[in-house]
Amino acid sequence: APNLKIDNLHVSIEDKKIVKGFDLEINGGEIHAVMGPNGTGKSTLASALMGHPKYEITEGNVAFNGEDLLEMEVDERARAGLFLAMQYPSEVSGVTNADFLRTAINGRRGEGNEIPLMKFIKQLDKKMDLLDIDQEFAQRYLNEGFSGGEKKRNEILQLMMIEPKIAILDEIDSGLDIDALKVVAKGVNEMRSEDFGCLIITHYQRLLNYITPDKVHVMMQGRIVKSGGPELAERLEAEGYDWIKEELGIED
Ligand code: ADP
Ligand code: MG
Ligand code: MG
């Protein structure tokens, strides 16, 4: 089963320390949520894990299925089965959604093991259906003129087609209406299996009404300060973050 083990990770941007001693282990079959106030380093963590060159890792280790993730190139990470929603360029002219997906899937499968076209089309049809995505959507250019909700739906379609081992979904719920939120949740829930682990990064609890996480972690000032079950997310929704700051004596 897949495993992502983040150990004492420190990340800086332009010499500013942002992530400061982040620890988390995700196994196949598990969905973890990381919640936290704005500016606490959640997106920095996600980008650093995907190997974004702007984010400098100054300390710590990350093992992905026992291999040193930090030594892997960005495309190697994707090939090994790590997925970050929003890792894709916002608009790519001349590339249709279907082209993009097929390239991404084949990149992950490797040379000589490309997905047969008919099989690809069948899977795409089935998954677009499940996510309530219009057929013509496949032939549209990637992200060109997509609404916010369409982009998010498309990211979940990518997730379902690429079938990564571990996915990091950063604010996949932001700006979504309830219908789009339910579709996103449906896709993630459909992915649930022993062969798939997921990290949901979110500011709000509402997505977690539709995707029940196994563990909820609160991130503040660059690290996890509290962990619990789904009830922790509910308390954050009701009471905000101040009680945790008080409990831990954190100033901001
Ligand atoms: P979160 O996702 O928890 O809201 P971020 O990781 O986006 O937090 O940001 C954490 C801190 O890092 C903030 O102070 C932000 O201003 C800073 N930061 C994030 N990205 C960059 C960047 N590309 N360049 C400079 N500073 C950044
Ligand atoms: Mg933010
Ligand atoms: Mg963020």
Structure confidence by residue, pLDDT tens digits, 91-128: 666 888 899 899 889 988 888 999 999 999 999 999 99
| Confidence at 63, pLDDT banded by 50, 70, 90 | very high
Of 192 and 141, the structure prediction assigns the larger pLDDT to 192
Indicate if ligand 1 lies below 6 Å from the C-beta of 49.
no
The pLDDT value recorded for residue 127 is 95
The pLDDT value recorded for residue 241 is 92
| Residue 88 scores a pLDDT above 60 | no
The pLDDT value recorded for residue 203 is 84
Partner residues linked to 193 by β-bridges: 196
| Residue 87 scores a pLDDT above 60 | no
Q: Which atom of ligand 1 is nearest to the CA of 45?
A: 6
In total, the chain counts a number of residues equal to 252
The pLDDT value recorded for residue 107 is 85
- Segment 14-39 shows an average pLDDT of 97
| Confidence at 147, pLDDT banded by 50, 70, 90 | confident
Of 53 and 142, the structure prediction assigns the larger pLDDT to 53
Q: Which of 169, 167, 175 is nearest to 202 (CA)?
A: 169
Q: Which of 246, 248, 169 is nearest to 211 (CA)?
A: 169
Nearest CA to ligand 1 atom 27: 13
On whether the CB atoms of residues 159 and 135 are closer than 8 A, the answer is: no
Partner residues linked to 166 by β-bridges: 82, 197
On whether the CB atoms of residues 166 and 2 are closer than 8 A, the answer is: yes
| Residue 154 scores a pLDDT above 90 | no
**Nearest-angstrom CA–CA distance, 101 and 96:** 9
Q: What ligand has the least distance to the C-alpha of 41?
A: 1
| Residue 90 scores a pLDDT above 70 | no
| Confidence at 45, pLDDT banded by 50, 70, 90 | very high
- Per-domain residue ranges for the chain? 3-248
| Confidence at 37, pLDDT banded by 50, 70, 90 | very high
| Confidence at 86, pLDDT banded by 50, 70, 90 | low
Tokens of 212: 């029940």
Nearest CA to ligand 1 atom 6: 41
Question: Does the model's ipTM exceed the 0.85 cut?
Answer: yes
Phi, psi of 21 (to 5 degrees): 85, 55
CATH-assigned architecture of domain 3-248: 3-Layer(aba) Sandwich (3.40)
Percentage above 70 pLDDT, the chain? 96
Q: What is the distance in A from the centroid of ligand 3 to the CA of 125? A: 32
- Segment 66-89 shows an average pLDDT of 84
